């Protein structure tokens, strides 16, 4: 029997919702876009008219309490991730919440407790990059010894944004590069190695106008492997992940944000020869929501559980603490 499509409600008219998640829901065969909420009815109605969303709410809580939806997508500013994810759970709704899942470990633990009280509901952090097939292929090849023992991982993610009205440049609500994009670099190293670092070292450079971090460097100690990253909100747009091993290396040229329906190329260097491995073209946002819908319909574990989000947040907290202490911080 074909399962009914999962009915989605969008919590706010954020750009990532309009340009990425909503098109993915529309393109999916297993999900259905039903409602959108904003702080004002007029704003929600404007987006609903543009994107043919049938139901409009001028209040977040009213949408959560509606029987029209099964699941909520939360792309609100970082300081509102946990509060509104908890409200959604209390209203009996599944949740896909944008990264980072919370502001810190304490904030994330609040959501963990709420989720444990509703084991019938799924909560997932929206790290869509993991659903692109290049990542499963990269981990398969690395763990299969494609480049021998892994020695180091380097990750870079940057863009340029000095808009004072952008939430990423606002202190006190989770602004700054480390929470916005550094979380990808940290998540990537943890995913490829499938384990956690024992300690971290980090340095941040603050923007004097915005009072948020604009550049962040970090070093994650996995014992036999060191992972480093650089993220910036005031640098030329760039992204890459490079893995060095005893017999070769792997370069992921577009590891985090892929163009719609794009294939990816993994570049392996070994024995002084270059091998290109291409993965299927896909929309990793569609794959993300389909994977979550499958877990909900079949009552399977969440594809990326909250425990993974909490582990990522521990590292982020460690980087912040290391910058203040000017020393290694144990995780």
Q: Residue 289: exposed, middle, or buried by beta-carbon count in 10 A (0-12, 13-18, 19+)?
A: buried
Query: Quick check: bond before 100 cis, omega within 30?
Result: yes
Alpha-carbon distances of 118 from 71, 121, 285, rounded to whole Å: 14, 6, 26
Measure the CA–CA gap between 241 and 229, rounded to whole angstroms.
9
Measure the CA–CA gap between 249 and 39, rounded to whole angstroms.
49
Q: Which domains does the chain have, with CATH numbers?
A: 6-126 (3.40.50.720), 129-285+313-330 (3.30.360.10)
Predicted confidence pLDDT, tens digits, the chain (331 residues): 467 899 999 999 999 999 999 999 999 999 999 999 999 999 999 999 999 999 999 999 999 999 999 999 999 999 999 999 999 999 999 999 999 999 999 999 999 999 999 999 999 999 999 999 999 999 999 999 999 999 999 999 999 999 999 999 999 999 999 999 999 999 999 999 999 999 999 999 999 999 999 999 999 999 999 999 999 999 999 999 999 999 999 999 999 987 777 789 999 998 789 999 999 999 999 999 999 999 999 999 999 999 999 999 999 999 999 999 999 999 9
> Are 187 and 113 within 8 A, CB to CB?
no
Measure the CA–CA gap between 11 and 43, rounded to whole angstroms.
12
């Amino acid at each position: 029997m074909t399962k009914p499509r999962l009915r989605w409600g969008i919590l706010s008219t954020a750009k990532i919702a309009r340009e990425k998640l909503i098109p993915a829901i529309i393109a999916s065969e297993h999900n259905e876009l039903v409602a959108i909420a904003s702080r004002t009815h007029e704003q929600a109605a404007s987006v609903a008219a543009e994107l043919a969303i049938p139901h409009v709410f001028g209040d977040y809580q009213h949408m959560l309490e509606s029987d029209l939806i099964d699941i909520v997508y939360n792309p609100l500013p970082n300081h509102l991730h946990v509060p509104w994810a908890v409200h959604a759970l209390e209203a009996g709704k599944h949740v896909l919440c944008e990264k980072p899942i919370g502001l810190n470990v304490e904030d994330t633990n609040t959501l963990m407790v709420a989720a444990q009280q509703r084991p019938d509901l799924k909560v997932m952090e929206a790290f869509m990059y993991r659903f692109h097939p290049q990542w499963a292929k990269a981990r398969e090849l690395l763990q299969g010894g494609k480049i021998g023992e892994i020695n180091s991982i380097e990750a870079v993610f940057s863009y340029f944004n000095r808009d004072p009205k952008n939430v990423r440049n606002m202190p006190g609500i989770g602004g700054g590069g480390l929470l916005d994009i550094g979380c990808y670099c940290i998540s990537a190293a943890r995913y490829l190695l499938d384990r956690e670092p024992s300690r971290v070292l980090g340095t941040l450079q603050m923007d004097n106008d915005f009072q948020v971090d604009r550049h962040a460097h970090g070093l994650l100690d996995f014992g036999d492997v060191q992972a480093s990253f650089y993220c910036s909100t005031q640098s030329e747009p760039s992204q890459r992940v490079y893995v060095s091993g005893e017999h070769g290396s792997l370069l992921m040229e577009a590891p985090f944000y892929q163009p719609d329906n794009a294939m990816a190329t993994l570049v392996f260097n070994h024995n002084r020869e270059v091998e290109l491995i291409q993965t299927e073209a896909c929309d990793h946002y569609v794959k993300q929501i389909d994977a979550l819908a499958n877990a909900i319909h079949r009552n399977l574990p969440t594809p990326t559980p909250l425990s993974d989000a909490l582990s990522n947040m521990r590292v982020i907290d460690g980087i912040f603490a290391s910058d203040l202490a000017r020393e290694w911080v144990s995780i």
